[in-house]
């Protein structure tokens, strides 16, 4: 990120653009909140209308949190740039309700690392199927063990106890579809059963519990040490040590790659002048030249398909690697339920892989989470629900006939006949909401069900409310008024309710997604609560164009918890770049704590780093020195030990 910032500041200076980007690194030594809580804190801050942060760089994992706090980029980004990022993958992640919430600075994709040393030593090729991977990894491990080398990891799965378990599992399941054009298999499908059984086979034959669930901060050093034969990880510049290719599949030609990375968002509460400045920065970072620099230097995949049609670029980068990737990404439209879904998903899958949970039970739980089943009218449950509801409605309204019998007048004299009718109508009408739960669930049904419940309960309670006012212990002009105009009061309250309900119907807060499926040969309607979008592409990577040491240092800098920080106020706080000392960062209305990831070992670093940026005028520049010596020495030591 340093290079991008420096490039922009130089560009702004040369073109007399009154914009300057400021930056600060966050690391374990100077932060106290993990990235998940940091995302929540930022969301809370922006929902209050804070203008502290102008430009936000964040993983698509948390993009859904900022739907109501970010600006529609269509209003400020030029059409030329938007056209570069108009492909299906970008739209599925960064667009919701035709609003472009964010655009990708770059994408991270899941790939397979194959150790060049052992492939060449035993004259083996990169595995194309999971069975080939097991066979080749086991062969290498057995041969090396005979030579006294028993410290190898056959396959590093990246199935850790964190949110990274979700993309690892989903792309693995996607690799078990029948054909390239087939959708993601359901969890109750035979494909899913084969996939999960094979996953345990891989772990037991060529890996271990510890190797399979390594945290991401331990994966890169382990890859550098060359103790890994095969491994699944995000694309990083390790091509000098490993052959980077697409992940295997159940069949040859089938693969999968989950899309992650970082998206750029614009705070919608900042001034128009600031928005124009942010737009200039976004357009600069998403331009072809900067995207080429990011790709060649950091091996970070651009979100623009157009870039990989550039002949000059393809001479330096294997564009076939990109064109062969078979992408899998989560839809932004259904991601609002993601946090709760992920925690349950992780629990079920983790218990299956490491704690011996039953396969059928695990897949059934995952299937139940993924879909909500509606009750068909013709089913036994639908028939019972309809008949029972109608019976109770008739029974309640039929009891009004008791009011017409003189022998019950003494017992029912608390209300007159009109109020009894309204009371019973309100009570019985609430039962009608049950009809909204049968058949296809639609937005209209969801809305009308709430309206029915609201009105019916109001009618029922208003009768008692008016009666209590009339029977107030001390006679007064108000109780006299209610006694003389009780029907008018009831009508007024009812009309008020209707007026309050109209905005609710107009706003229509419900959003439903439908698909049809077959379960046990029965046609069942499913409300899909998490949609997966797919786009087939695939890979073979070769990139020795860059100095390996430089690329590795670049990767670690980009992977550190980085924040480009500025102030919307007239004055900028000065920051010391030392890793040992950091000034506290203050929020807008409420004070923000220091930001730390010291307890975030279980949270994947790269996909969850949050970057904030603020645009300031050049006369507000603050000198910032960042000491990255410790990180650089750590990487150099790892490289020197190879």
- What is the reported pLDDT for 355? 95
Residue 24 has pLDDT above 90, yes or no: no
| 181-236: pLDDT as tens digits | 999 999 999 999 999 999 999 999 999 999 999 988 899 899 999 999 999 999 88
- What is the reported pLDDT for 430? 86
Q: How far is CA 56 from the centre of its chain?
A: 16
Q: How far is CA 134 from CA 228, 348, 388, in A?
A: 14, 25, 57
| 2-15: pLDDT as tens digits | 778 888 888 888 88
Q: Which two tokens stand for residue 628?
A: 């990255």
Residues 358 and 227 in one domain: yes
Instruction: Give residue 509's pLDDT band: very low, low, confident or very high (50, 70, 90).
Output: low
Residues near 18 by beta carbon (within 8 Å), at least 6 away in sequence:
12, 617, 618
CB contact at 8 A, 262 and 94: no
Instruction: Give residue 254's pLDDT band: very low, low, confident or very high (50, 70, 90).
Output: very high
Q: Which residue has the higher pLDDT, 627 or 143?
A: 143
Q: How far is CA 258 from CA 61, 187, 309, 479, 538, in A?
A: 12, 18, 22, 68, 12
Average pLDDT over the chain reads: 76
Instruction: Give residue 373's pLDDT band: very low, low, confident or very high (50, 70, 90).
Output: low
Can you tell me the distance from the alpha carbon of 245 to that of 542, in angstroms, rounded to the nearest whole number?
9
Of the candidates 461, 493, 511, which is a domain's last residue?
Answer: 511
CB contact at 8 A, 360 and 190: no
- What is the reported pLDDT for 169? 94
Q: How far is CA 139 from CA 119, 155, 225, in A?
A: 11, 12, 20
| 472-505: pLDDT as tens digits | 777 778 788 878 888 888 888 888 888 887 777 7
Only one residue has tokens 């995207």, namely: 291
- What is the reported pLDDT for 103? 95
Q: Is residue 543 part of a domain?
A: no
Q: Is residue 8 part of a domain?
A: yes
Q: Is residue 337 part of a domain?
A: no
Q: Is residue 324 part of a domain?
A: no
Residues 361 and 387 in one domain: no
Residue 554 has pLDDT above 50, yes or no: no
- What is the reported pLDDT for 371? 66
- What is the reported pLDDT for 156? 94
Burial readout 473-495 (b: 16 or more C-beta within 10 A, e: otherwise): eeeeeebeebbeebeebbeeeee
Can you tell me the distance from the alpha carbon of 541 to that of 242, in angstroms, rounded to the nearest whole number?
10
Q: Which residue has the higher pLDDT, 38 or 220?
A: 220
Residues 490 and 434 in one domain: yes
Residues 474 and 396 in one domain: yes
Q: What is the mean pLDDT of residues 54-60?
A: 85
The CB density around residue 570, as the number of other CB atoms within 10 Å, is 9
Lowest mean pLDDT among 67-81, 160-174, 408-422, 563-577: 563-577
Residues 229 and 88 in one domain: no
Percent of the chain with pLDDT over 90: 34
- What is the reported pLDDT for 372? 60
- What is the reported pLDDT for 122? 96
Residues 288 and 390 in one domain: no
- What is the reported pLDDT for 419? 81
Q: Is residue 614 part of a domain?
A: yes
Q: Is residue 534 part of a domain?
A: no
Most confident of 252-266, 515-529, 608-622: 252-266
Residues 196 and 235 in one domain: yes
Lowest mean pLDDT among 226-235, 323-332, 355-364, 458-467: 323-332
- What is the reported pLDDT for 50? 84
Residues 66 and 8 in one domain: yes
Residues 613 and 584 in one domain: yes
Q: Which residue has the higher pLDDT, 53 or 228?
A: 228
Residues 458 and 388 in one domain: yes
| 512-536: pLDDT as tens digits | 544 434 444 443 444 433 333 333 3
CB contact at 8 A, 325 and 539: yes
- 3-state SS assignment for residue 598: coil
Can you tell me the distance from the alpha carbon of 128 to that of 248, in angstroms, rounded to the nearest whole number?
5
Q: What is the mean pLDDT of residues 99-105?
A: 93
Range of the domain at 291: 2-105+261-316+549-634
3-state secondary structure 219-234: HHHHHHCCCEEEEEEE
Of the candidates 483, 511, 539, which is a domain's last residue?
Answer: 511
Residue 616 has pLDDT above 50, yes or no: no
Q: Which residue has the higher pLDDT, 193 or 62?
A: 193
Residues 92 and 116 in one domain: no
Lowest mean pLDDT among 145-149, 347-351, 578-582: 578-582
Of the candidates 457, 490, 511, which is a domain's last residue?
Answer: 511
CB contact at 8 A, 107 and 302: yes
Q: Is residue 327 part of a domain?
A: no
Residues 244 and 288 in one domain: no
Q: Read out DSSP for 121-161?
A: HTT----SBHHHHHHHHHHHHHHHHHTT----EEEE----S
Q: Whole-structure pTM over 0.75, yes or no?
A: no
State the Cα torsion 479-484-486-492 to the nearest 10°: -100
- Domain with 624 in it: what CATH number? 3.40.190.10
CB contact at 8 A, 244 and 257: no
Residue 594 has pLDDT above 80, yes or no: no
Number of domains in the chain: 3
| 276-333: pLDDT as tens digits | 999 999 999 999 999 999 998 888 999 999 999 988 899 988 898 899 999 986 654 3
Residue 630 has pLDDT above 80, yes or no: no
Q: What is the mean pLDDT of residues 346-370?
A: 92
Q: Return phi, psi of residue 32, to 5°.
A: -130, 5
Alpha-helix residue ranges (DSSP H) falling in 430-485: 443-470, 477-484
Only one residue has tokens 């011996």, namely: 356
Q: Is residue 224 part of a domain?
A: yes
């Amino acid at each position: 990120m340093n290079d991008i910032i420096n490039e922009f500041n130089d560009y702004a200076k040369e073109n007399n653009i009154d914009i300057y980007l400021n930056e600060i690194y966050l690391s374990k030594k100077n932060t106290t909140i993990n990235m998940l809580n940091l995302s929540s804190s930022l969301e809370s801050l922006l929902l209050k209308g804070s203008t502290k942060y102008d430009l936000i760089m964040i993983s698509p994992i948390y993009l859904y949190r900022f739907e109501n706090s970010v600006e529609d980029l269509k209003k400020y980004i030029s059409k030329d740039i938007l056209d570069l990022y108009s492909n299906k993958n970008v739209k599925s992640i960064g667009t919701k309700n035709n609003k472009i919430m964010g655009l990708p600075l770059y994408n991270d994709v899941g790939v397979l690392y194959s150790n060049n040393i052992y492939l060449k030593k035993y004259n083996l090729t990169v595995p194309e199927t999971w069975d080939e991977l097991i066979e080749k990894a086991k062969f290498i491990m057995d041969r090396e063990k005979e030579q006294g080398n028993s410290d190898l990891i056959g396959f590093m799965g990246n199935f850790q106890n964190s949110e990274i378990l979700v993309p690892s599992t989903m792309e693995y399941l996607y690799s078990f579809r029948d054909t390239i054009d087939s959708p993601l298999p359901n969890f109750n499908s035979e494909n899913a059963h084969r996939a999960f059984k094979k996953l345990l086979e891989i772990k037991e034959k060529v890996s271990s519990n510890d190797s399979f669930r390594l945290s991401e901060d331990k994966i890169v050093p382990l890859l550098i040490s060359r103790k890994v034969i095969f491994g699944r990880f995000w694309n990083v510049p390790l091509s000098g040590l490993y052959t980077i290719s697409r992940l295997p599949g159940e069949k040859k030609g089938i693969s999968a790659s989950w899309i992650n990375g970082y998206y750029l968002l614009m705070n919608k509460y900042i001034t128009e002048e600031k928005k124009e400045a942010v737009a200039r920065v976004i357009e600069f970072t998403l331009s072809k030249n900067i995207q080429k620099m990011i790709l060649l230097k950091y091996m970070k995949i651009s979100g623009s398909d157009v870039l990989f049609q550039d002949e000059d670029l393809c001479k330096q980068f294997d564009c076939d690697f990109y064109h062969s990737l078979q992408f899998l990404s989560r839809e932004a439209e259904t991601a609002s339920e993601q946090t709760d879904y992920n925690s349950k998903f992780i629990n079920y899958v983790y218990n299956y892989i490491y704690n011996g949970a039953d396969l059928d039970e695990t897949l059934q739980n995952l299937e139940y989470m993924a879909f909500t089943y509606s009750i068909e009218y013709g089913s036994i449950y639908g028939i019972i629900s309809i008949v029972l509801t109608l019976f109770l409605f008739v029974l309640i309204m039929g009891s009004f006939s008791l009011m017409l019998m003189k022998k019950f007048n003494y017992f029912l004299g608390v209300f007159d006949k009109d109020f009894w009718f309204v009371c019973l109508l309100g009570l019985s009408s609430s039962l009608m909401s049950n009809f909204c739960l049968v058949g296809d669930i639609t937005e209209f049904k969801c809305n009308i069900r709430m309206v029915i419940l609201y009105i019916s309960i109001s009618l029922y309670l208003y009768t008692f409310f008016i009666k209590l006012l009339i029977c107030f212990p001390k006679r007064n002009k108000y109780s006299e008024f209610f006694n003389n105009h009780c029907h008018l009061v009831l009508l007024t309250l009812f009309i008020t309710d209707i007026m309050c309900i109209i905005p609710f119907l107009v706003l229509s807060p419900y959003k439903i997604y439908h698909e049809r499926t077959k379960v046990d040969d029965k046609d069942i309607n499913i409300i899909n609560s998490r949609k997966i979008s797919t786009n087939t592409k695939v890979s073979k990577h070769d990139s020795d164009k860059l100095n390996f040491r430089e690329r590795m240092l670049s990767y670690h800098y980009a992977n550190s918890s980085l924040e480009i920080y500025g102030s919307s106020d007239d004055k900028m706080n000065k920051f010391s770049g030392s890793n040992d000392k950091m000034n506290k960062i203050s929020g807008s209305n409420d004070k923000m704590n220091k930001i730390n990831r010291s307890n975030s070992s279980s949270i994947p670093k790269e996909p969850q780093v949050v970057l904030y940026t603020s645009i300031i005028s050049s006369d507000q520049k603050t000198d910032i020195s960042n000491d990255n010596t410790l990180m650089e020495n750590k990487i150099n030591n790892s490289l020197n030990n190879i």
